[in-house]
Amino acid sequence: MVCKFNFSQVIDKIKNGAKMQRRDFIKGAATCAAGLAVGLDLFTQQTGEIGAANLTDGVDLSGAKNLGERLAATTPYLTLNNRILMPIVGLSADKFDDLKDKNALGAALGLGYRLIDTDGGGEEGVAAFAASGLERRQLFVQSALDAQNGDESGMIKSFEHSLKKLNTDYVDLLLLRVGAGDVSSAWRVLQRLYQEGLAASIGICDHLGEFGTENLVKIAQGSEVKPAVYQTRSSSYLRRFAARGKVTDHDVQVQLLYEPGEELKEPALVQISEKYGKTRSQIILRWLVQHGVCAVVNSASKEILLENIDIFGFELADEDSELIAKLWRS
């Protein structure tokens, strides 16, 4: 079963000020969430920390036909604060704009990636969805919108364009790109798109860390619909919070756009890598997901794509996890 909404009718309703029945959207979103969870019984604890020694324990792989299906089945899902399920590892496709990168996206889907972050700008490459043979309900597609000074018509037009390029009637997560200014008007637009069934969940995209968790709290406290996800690529987040999967008292899930940096050169990380027989990037990614952080990576290399998702067959010991945390605090 493919989860679909009538995109044209809903857009027209928004433009004309009408509202979709909330129960219809909840029913559709729940169906999508159930589809995402097929074959899985892996959920994070309320603390956001995953404590299983092997995150693949208890998963039935007998029906897996290939490596990609196995990796997809062993990738845990996080439960967002509106009960939507989100894979704990994903791929950023915002820079995928040529044939090589489109092929890489196809390879990623074949390797088991199910969360695809288009960032509102890389939708052309998502043509690989159709070629993958996967049903829409098997994918977690997220996009992003600029605040545009809270211009509702401009934001809706931009989102309509993204949906058409994605060839879908909804996204699983819609993020609002923010800076240091007030975004309350823009957030109300996202709330409306959520309430109309065009986004199964909504959140904040704070790439540079300028918005901060203080403003995130203000949005959560003053809004009918709370942010479900806080996305950042700022290393300052890790320095401040180490690896906390949830921020604020509103159970907002952290999603980190991870790009390897100077931390890979640290002698302590080299030693931990050798201890587990894993690459240094795998150690960092394992550390993130072990603490309930959703990690989104970006690579056009099939080898690195495989490396980045194949992180669920081991667990970091407490002493090693603490050593990694110290890397960010130094």
Instruction: Flag whether 249 is in a domain.
Output: yes
Model confidence at 29: pLDDT above 50? no
Model confidence at 46: pLDDT above 80? no
- The structure tokens listed for 188 are 């109300």
Number of domains in the chain: 1
Lowest mean pLDDT among 7-16, 167-176, 223-232, 243-252: 7-16
Instruction: Flag whether 320 is in a domain.
Output: yes
Instruction: Flag whether 16 is in a domain.
Output: no
Percent of the chain predicted with pLDDT > 90 = 41
Model confidence at 204: pLDDT above 60? yes
Domain span at residue 27 reads 23-329
Model confidence at 326: pLDDT above 50? yes
Instruction: Flag whether 155 is in a domain.
Output: yes
Q: What is the CATH number of the domain that holds 231?
A: 3.20.20.100
**pLDDT tens figures, 173-195:** 999 998 877 888 999 999 999 99
**pLDDT tens figures, 259-312:** 887 788 889 999 999 999 999 999 999 999 998 999 999 888 889 999 999 999
Ranges 1-5, 26-30, 107-111, 315-319, most confident: 315-319
**The pLDDT value given to residue 254:** 92
Instruction: Flag whether 4 is in a domain.
Output: no
Instruction: Flag whether 6 is in a domain.
Output: no
Instruction: Flag whether 229 is in a domain.
Output: yes
User: What's the mean pLDDT in 202-222?
Assistant: 86
